[in-house]
Amino acid sequence: MAATETPLIELVDVGRVYRRAGAGRRGVATRALSDVTLRIDPGEFVAVMGPSGSGKSTLMNILGCLDRPTQGVYRFQGRDVGQLSADERAALRRESFGFVFQSYNLLGSATARENVEMPAAYAHLGRALRAERAEGLLRAFALGNRLGHRPRALSGGEQQRVAIARALMNGGRVILADEPTGALDTKNGEDVLAVLADLSARGHTVIVITHDPEVAAWSERRIELLDGRVVADRRTEGVTRPARGDTVVGPNPSPRSEPSGRRTGIDFQRAAESLRGTLASLRANLLRGSRLRTALTVLSVTVGVWSVVAMLSVVQGGYRESVETVSRIGADRIFVRSGVAYGDRKSTPVRLTLADAEAIRREVDNVRAVLPHVSGQLTLRQGDRSVETTVQAAVPEMLVTDRLRLARGVFFSERDSADHEPVVVIGAGISDELFPVSAAVGRHVLVGGAPFVVKGVLARYRRSGSVVEDYRDKQVLVPLGTAQALLFGRESLDSITVSAEDPKRVGETARAVDNLLARRHGHRGFSLSSDIPSMIGFSTVERLMSALMGAVGAISLFVGGMGVTSVMLVSVAERTREIGIRMATGARRQDILRQFLLEAVAVTVAGGVLGTMLGFASRVVFDAFEVPAALSVWFVFAALACAVGTGLAAGIVPARRAAALDPVAALSR
């Protein structure tokens, strides 16, 4: 064999010592390999022999970059492998090596084709190309009708051929086979060896560990180990290869370079593909033996998210209800009246005007509405009927702020006020008194002697069957402009009511109104009043309630998250060998980390979706018990964010543990 400039594989004084914590202070040291120096050239077919425990597997793991020597130097194509990072070694495994194990080491949850595709998936080869290539390899190994079978449904020989196909998926320049025929009967064993011999003939470098002298007889070179040392390294003349033609042999796949370098921005196709792959593996993993466990974990997260949604809705519902109560009792309002403080003889009362109301509306923060008030005691007359009552000037805004509902007709507009239209809106009680038999709207009525037209009648406040009159049924409202011009003959207002947007900040708003009016009038000839103490009580209770509910929700979510963590830890422990297989076929640490994180997130998102649905469904229960609950669309996002966050937090420890596994240790489980 012609020696090339740079050898493919070169070991110089390589040693490997295993240290295990033992009885002694330094633990027990096992010397598995000592002073191994050898060189292997491209296309060689090497048999490694030796008794059990002589270090064959250790040598193989070092050659395949699954393990690192503790002494000496290993160069692959001239590169010192000892200097490479874990991910660089993973890349080398992915691109240059193909492993074939005695126990096949196929993923039980994946089909034959998916098993073969795995190394290419980690090399980011496109889905279509991957499937095509995997199918081609399996067909060449007479497994064309076994593509969708899982390893369980395949014979030992078939499984080993799937494993060889997987070793060839990314090219497989160097095939490392650790006792590949150990678990096979003679016929199947011979088939597998014929395949390996043929690969060697096609230019692959094949290194095979075997006990079988017959196997060794096929090889061109025999390396013998004893107690971790190379005791013989012979090239055999006149190799007797099995006859060609009676076995199926794979194609000669040329080493393929990774399609990198042509990446621009975000590769959506690749992202979609990895998502699809992840979903497929999630489905496979969640549907394996641990189905009940997965279901229980999802359930625990469901309960956590459910309680978060329920708590949120109760807090929000309670808040809305209390804001409503507050505005109903008027605690969100500030009354401004003209007048001076008791005992103040120097100041004079200010004249509050519409301009003051406008200024408050314009300049003060947290103002929902500003209502100017002017009222007077007047007589209303209709034919021979009359009623003496309070006539109030009103602005159209009052319709909203006082929640007025009209039984008939309409409310007046800004225009009515500006044009001093003689129109009036009356309460149901007034309507009863003045128009007992006919409809009031459109009819004339004398207000303080002046003719007005009834524009609307308010809905009745008095409960049916109640003997108590409601004062609101006695309201008589005329447009502010009309009232000032036609009824009261003055520009000044009796008072101004300011409603706060956020009732909790009434105090602050009152101070701002106070300062504004003092500035406008030059002195404090007015007085402010509001129900601030009840607001303070309200906001304290509200804060306490939110904190309590939030704590309950967070605790249940935390408990759910711990469930996810423990299940994931068990899963990592159970799937150690799977992780080892993935690493041997070239998975980066990141790939493993991502896989387990995504599994955790998938479980919590499933719980999140169910929990949100339950949260919305429990509306029925809240309604039945008259608990004020409100649900918003943003709860869905909040709940899903909680679920994803919990998944990431709960999955990080198990995922890191999985990614940190040593491939050799993981494979030996």
Residues that bind Mg ion (CB under 5 A): 57
Using the rule CB under 6 A, is 20 a contact of ligand ADP?
yes
Instruction: Return the closest-CA partner of residue 104 out of 150, 56, 44, 68.
Output: 150
Looking at beta carbons only, is 101 or 141 nearer to Mg ion?
A: 101
- DSSP class of residue 4? P
Using the rule CB under 6 A, is 30 a contact of ligand ADP?
yes
Looking at beta carbons only, is 543 or 669 nearer to ligand ADP?
A: 669
Which of ligand ADP, Mg ion, none interacts with 456 (beta carbon under 5 to 8 A by kind)? none
**Do 622 and 564 touch, CB atoms closer than 8 A?**
no
Using the rule CB under 6 A, is 53 a contact of ligand ADP?
yes
Looking at beta carbons only, is 209 or 610 nearer to ligand ADP?
A: 209
- DSSP class of residue 532? H
State the nearest-atom distance from the C-beta of 294 to ligand ADP, in Å: 32
Burial of 300 (0-12, 13-18, 19+ CB in 10 A): buried
Instruction: Return the closest-CA partner of residue 208 out of 259, 249, 252, 167.
Output: 167
Which of Mg ion, ligand ADP, none interacts with 89 (beta carbon under 5 to 8 A by kind)? none
Using the rule CB under 6 A, is 57 a contact of ligand ADP?
yes
Using CB under 6 A, which of the segments 45-53, 216-224, 416-424, 497-505 binds ligand ADP? Answer: 45-53
Using the rule CB under 6 A, is 26 a contact of ligand ADP?
no
Q: Report the residue from 52, 85, 145, 464 that binds ligand ADP according to the rule CB under 6 A.
A: 52
Please report the sign of the dihedral spanned by the C-alpha atoms of residue 463, residue 468, residue 470, residue 475. positive
Q: Kind and range of the H or E element at 334?
A: strand 333-338
Query: Which residues are CB-neighbours of 187 under 8 A, at least 6 positions away?
Result: 157
Cα dist. 623→316, 462, 596, 631 in Å?
Answer: 14, 27, 41, 12
Amino acid at site 538 = F
Number of H helices, E strands in the chain: 21, 21
Q: Kind and range of the H or E element at 496?
A: strand 495-500
Judged by CB under 6 A, the chain residues 59 through 98 that form the site for ligand ADP are none
CA distance 169 to 605: 34
Looking at beta carbons only, is 470 or 662 nearer to ligand ADP?
A: 662
Instruction: Return the closest-CA partner of residue 519 out of 356, 336, 291.
Output: 356
State the nearest-atom distance from the C-beta of 661 to ligand ADP, in Å: 13
Strands 450-458 and 495-500: unpaired
Which of Mg ion, ligand ADP, none interacts with 52 (beta carbon under 5 to 8 A by kind)? ligand ADP
Using the rule CB under 6 A, is 43 a contact of ligand ADP?
no
State the nearest-atom distance from the C-beta of 219 to Mg ion, in Å: 18
Looking at beta carbons only, is 30 or 186 nearer to ligand ADP?
A: 30
Q: Report the residue from 14, 56, 199, 568 that binds ligand ADP according to the rule CB under 6 A.
A: 56
Q: Which position has the token pair 């390893």?
A: 151
The token duo for 364 is 């003060």
Looking at beta carbons only, is 61 or 499 nearer to ligand ADP?
A: 61
Query: Which residues are CB-neighbours of 299 under 8 A, at least 6 positions away?
Result: 607
Burial of 365 (0-12, 13-18, 19+ CB in 10 A): exposed
Looking at beta carbons only, is 57 or 382 nearer to Mg ion?
A: 57
**Do 667 and 584 touch, CB atoms closer than 8 A?**
yes
Using the rule CB under 6 A, is 232 a contact of ligand ADP?
no
In 10 A of CB 311, how many CB atoms?
Answer: 22
Instruction: Return the closest-CA partner of residue 45 out of 206, 245, 159, 261.
Output: 206
Looking at beta carbons only, is 58 or 96 nearer to ligand ADP?
A: 58
- DSSP class of residue 647? H
Q: Report the residue from 32, 91, 367, 666 that binds ligand ADP according to the rule CB under 6 A.
A: 32
State the nearest-atom distance from the C-beta of 104 to ligand ADP, in Å: 17
Burial of 48 (0-12, 13-18, 19+ CB in 10 A): buried
Q: Which position has the token pair 């935390």?
A: 558
State the nearest-atom distance from the C-beta of 292 to ligand ADP, in Å: 34
State the nearest-atom distance from the C-beta of 54 to ligand ADP, in Å: 4
Bridge partners of residue 383, in order along the sequence: none
Looking at beta carbons only, is 57 or 300 nearer to Mg ion?
A: 57
Using the rule CB under 6 A, is 54 a contact of ligand ADP?
yes
State the nearest-atom distance from the C-beta of 18 to ligand ADP, in Å: 3
Q: Report the residue from 7, 12, 18, 68 that binds ligand ADP according to the rule CB under 6 A.
A: 18
Looking at beta carbons only, is 16 or 133 nearer to ligand ADP?
A: 16
Using the rule CB under 6 A, is 669 a contact of ligand ADP?
no
State the nearest-atom distance from the C-beta of 56 to Mg ion, in Å: 5
Which of ligand ADP, Mg ion, none interacts with 58 (beta carbon under 5 to 8 A by kind)? ligand ADP
Looking at beta carbons only, is 192 or 223 nearer to ligand ADP?
A: 223
Please report the sign of the dihedral spanned by the C-alpha atoms of residue 653, residue 656, residue 662, residue 666. positive
State the nearest-atom distance from the C-beta of 577 to ligand ADP, in Å: 15
Using CB under 6 A, which of the segments 54-62, 82-90, 388-396, 399-407 binds ligand ADP? Answer: 54-62
State the nearest-atom distance from the C-beta of 159 to ligand ADP, in Å: 21
Footprint of ligand ADP (CB under 6 A): 18, 20, 30, 32, 50, 52-58
